[in-house]
């Protein structure tokens, strides 16, 4: 798979995540959205399946895509990532692909 294909898949997953977050936040204003609710579990279960499936497709054996989305705020938090002391902030899908390809 080419770098451009990986980036396109990652960007698609990020967009889906952001859209789901927006919908759940909007719904939460009116009906509440408890993390234990069936709706919450269904949405995040589907997102988790999408993330793991995409990670597998792009050769992301450590599922860094999930870390990038959930723990790194889709890059907004700029957490450090890397290997063997060679670390740098991971801010963009391009940075994420660099990190994934470095692990190979």
How far is 2 from 5, CA to CA, in rounded Å?
Answer: 5
Contacts of 87 (CB under 8 A, 6+ apart): 80, 81
The residue-averaged pLDDT of 70-93 equals 95
Band (29; pLDDT cuts 50, 70, 90): confident
Q: What is the pLDDT of residue 36?
A: 82
- CA-nearest of 86, 66, 84, 83 to 74 is 66
| Per-residue confidence band for 104, with pLDDT thresholds at 50, 70 and 90 | low
Q: What is the mean pLDDT of residues 53-66?
A: 96
| CA 39 – CA 74 distance, rounded (Å) | 23
**What secondary structure does DSSP assign to 23-45, as a single string?**
HHHHHHHHH---TTSHHHHHHHH
Q: How far is CA 42 from the centre of its chain?
A: 17
Q: For the chain, which residues make up each domain, given as ranges?
A: 3-103
């Amino acid at each position: 798979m080419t770098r451009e294909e990986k980036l396109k898949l990652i960007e698609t997953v990020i967009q889906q995540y952001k859209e789901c977050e927006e919908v759940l936040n909007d719904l939460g204003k009116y009906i509440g959205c408890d993390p234990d609710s069936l709706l919450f579990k269904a949405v995040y279960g589907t997102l988790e399946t999408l993330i793991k499936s995409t990670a597998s497709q792009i050769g992301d054996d450590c599922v860094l895509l999930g870390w990038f989305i959930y723990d790194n705020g889709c890059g907004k938090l700029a957490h450090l990532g890397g290997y063997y002391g060679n670390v740098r902030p991971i801010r963009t899908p391009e940075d994420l692909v660099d990190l994934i390809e470095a692990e190979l």
